[in-house]
Structure 1
Amino acid sequence: RLPQSLINEGRRKLAENRAVLDAISKEYGVQPRFVVALWGVETRFGKYTGKFSVIDALTTLAYDNRRAAYFRKELLLALRILDEDHISVEEMKGSWAGAMGQSQFMPSSFVNFAVDQDKDGKRDIWGTRADVFASAANYLAKSGWKGDQTWGREVALPKGFDPSLVDLNVEKPMHEWQALGVRKADGNNLPGRQLMGSLVQPKGGNGQTFLVYNNYRTILKWNRSTYFAMSVGRLADLIGGS
């Protein structure tokens, strides 16, 4: 369950930032509720962005970690970001693993996806909301997001349903799941739209079942955690709006 305070704050943030979010949505094809949900799950809408020096964190990991080569590459990219003057070294704060700013981008994600939306010459994912939102939308858009689709929905399975079909690697069109007895959580038929979907049970066979679509897989490219992707999708639904 997502905390009600997170949902309420998400609704407020969506309303507060409506104009800039709508413009970004038009440009990148990502619905505002998903941009706000990502922001909320990542950093509680910019409140918790990490207090570590990104350079110090990456330097430590580059020499003392089983993924040293990966962190060395990230360290070099972080130095490039400083060199390009997007942020000062004192303000370049993030997580213990070097994820930066309100969208928690690793330096490689910053280089590939961060956007200077307000055109001030800096891709400021630390302090400029327009840049934070556009960078997140750009990441999703470049990772295969479909702006005319949602992420998934809770569904009900019939008794005796084959558990081997509950697998992200098993993908079927909606009408095939319907024929197998899968229904919306309220018992109604699945939508007639022919999306491809997979069944997932984040808490195992005794928990809820979700039919997830392309956009759920795109969220997993941002963060491979099922819990993360599910939290973003459900928060987006509860925030509502377009």
Structure 2
Amino acid sequence: MISPRPVLALLLLLASIGGAAAADADFARCLAGLRAQAANAGVPGAAFDRFTDGLAPDASVLTLLDAQPEFTTPIWDYLAALVDARRVAQGREMLAHHAAVLARVEAAYGVDRHTVVAVWGVESDYGQVSGNRPLLVSLATLSCAGRRQAFFRGEFLALVKLLHAGDLSPDGLTGSWAGAFGHTQFMPGTYARIAVDFDGDGRRDLVKSVPDALASTANYLQRAGWKRGERWGFEVRVPKALDASLAGRKNARTLSDWRARGVTRIDGSPLPQSEARAALLLPAGRAGPAWLALRNYSAIYSYNAAESYALAIALLSDRLRGDPPQVAAWPTDDPGLGRDERERLQRLLIARGHDIGEADGMIGTRTRRAIVAEQERLRMTPADGRAGKRILDALEREARRADGPQAR
């Protein structure tokens, strides 16, 4: 008698092969449709075939579509990671190194250099982390499966047109899972509309040309409504009696109105009597920090429509200007960690025998598992694998106690 287990395994294998074959056929049909649309947009079939030769879908990008960190990460973690001491220091180095280009960018577009460099820092860590996913693969997959297919088809076709025009080379072209790429992470459609050739080499190259990337970013913000010589906003103090429903980016009121309601600057000084309009931001509710956002904040927000993202750029631009960090604390007993602190945490985990790879400040699956193990050992709740200040402090206290007798 034949055991049912091998038969079942064979049936499952055949089913998976059949499913994969059907998925491949669906992808091929989708690409054929995109080929026809590209031809209508001026990209010859031979060029389209050259760019898509051997292209296969990557299903992993579909799982990322609903897990964007701007919407899933606590804001104090998100900002701690993006507006940390290292990014501020590196940003100041970039301001000095590219001072001549940034002066030309300011003169041409009216956007201050600190905001432009802050976008660069948040988007790609000044060109160091611009995405490692093959761009054509990601956009083709998102064009043919999942939600928002119409949007991603437009982006895929825009990318193919850029490749055909010679602005970009398909060789080694990578970006984020969603198709953003280059120093300041433009989507292809935005690239086609907004990118400029600022270094004068005849090509709009936001991948290899820092001047093109910085000028294109300023061009984007100018077109989004940036007003020359104005700041994005400032931190404020809000009276306890203020109705929190008045907060929100779309609920702008005059500074005179906010002043009459008892809102002051963070140092307690009064707001100006002004008809300039500002929106009250309470990203963590009444218990957290508050800012008044002027109209330039809306230009930053348009770059990537997420409040935490826009605030990261705004606050990083303030630090690059030389302004101090925010004054009000976040409503948590476990603040997020910057990269230097995350690396310290990882070194402590490695010292305790956890195999997490190198201490690079990137919190991946192995680091989170190690944190869970240490949280459980220390009876910390919740044991959620979060890289926060509580677990860092606990492990540092242990390390100091362990070193104490040896030091004596």
Q: After TM superposition, is the score higher than 0.5?
A: yes
Q: What residue is the counterpart of 1:27 in the other structure?
A: 108
Distance in 1, Cα, partners of 2:174 & 2:203: 16
Identical residues among aligned pairs (%): 37
Which string of whole-angstrom CA distances, capped at 9 and with x for unpartnered residues, describes residues 43-95 of structure 1? Answer: 00010011111111111111112111111111111000001111110142111
State the one-letter code of the partner of 1:124. Answer: D
Q: Tell me by how many angstroms 1:107 deviates.
A: 0.5
RMSD of the TM alignment (CA)? 1.1
Residue 10 and residue 130 in structure 1: after superposition, are their counterparts in 2 closer, same or farther (change >3 A)? Answer: same
- Describe the SS at the equivalent of 2:235: strand
CA offset at residue 7 of structure 1? 0.7
> How do 1:69-218 and structure 2 match up within 5 A?
69-218=150-299
* Partner Cα distance (2:131, 2:273) in 1: 44
TM-score (norm 2): 0.58
Give yes or no for contact 1:52–1:95 (8 Å, CA) kept in 2: yes
For the Cα contact (< 8 Å) 2:259–2:272, is it kept in 1? no
| Structure 1 runs of 4+ with >6 Å offset | none
1:3-27 deviation per Cα after TM superposition (whole angstroms, max 9, x unaligned): 1111111111111111100111100
Q: So what's the TM-score if we normalise by structure 1?
A: 0.96
**In structure 2, what is the Cα distance between the partners aligned to 1:12 and 1:190?**
33
* Secondary structure in structure 2 of the residue aligned to 1:33: helix
CA contact (8 A) 1:113 1:139 kept: yes
Task: Flag the structure with more relative contact order, 1 or 2, with Cα contacts below 8 A and sequence separation at least 6.
Answer: 1
Aligned CA distance change for structure 1 residues 155 and 82 (closer, same or farther; 3 Å)? same
> C-alpha distance in 2, partners of 1:104/1:19?
22
Task: Write the letter of the residue equivalent to 1:103.
Answer: T
Residue 17 (structure 1) aligned to one of 78, 84, 98: 98
> Is structure 2 residue 131 aligned with structure 1 residue 50?
yes
Question: What residue in structure 1 maps to residue 147 of structure 2?
Answer: 66
Q: Which has the larger radius of gyration?
A: 2
Structure 2 residue identity aligned to 1:168: R
Offset, 1:167: 2.1
Distance 1:194 1:147 in 2: 18
Q: Cα distance, 1:193 vs. partner? A: 4.8
Q: Are the counterparts in 2 of residues 53 and 90 from structure 1 also a CA contact under 8 Å?
A: no
Structure 2 residues without counterparts, runs of 5 or longer: 1-79, 323-408
What SS class does the counterpart of residue 199 from structure 1 fall into?
strand
Q: Separation in 2 of the partners of 1:166 and 1:57?
A: 37
1:235 to 316, 322, 331: 316
Q: Deviations over 1:134-155 (max 9, x none)?
A: 0100000011111221111110
CA distance in 1, matches of 2:273, 2:217: 30
For 2:248 and 2:176, the matched residues in 1 are separated by 32
Name the CA shift for 1:196/1:220 in 2 (closer, same or farther; >3 Å): same
**1:191 shift after superposition:** 3.5
> What amino acid is aligned across from residue 190 of structure 2 in structure 1?
S
The one-letter amino acid paired with 1:97 is A
Q: Which amino acid aligns with 1:52?
A: R
Residues of 1 paired with 2:132 and 2:145: CA distance?
20
Aligned residues: 241
Give secondary structure in 2 for the equivalent of 1:146.
coil
Deviation at 1:170, TM superposition (A): 1.6
Cα distance in 1 for partners of 2:272, 2:211 equals 35
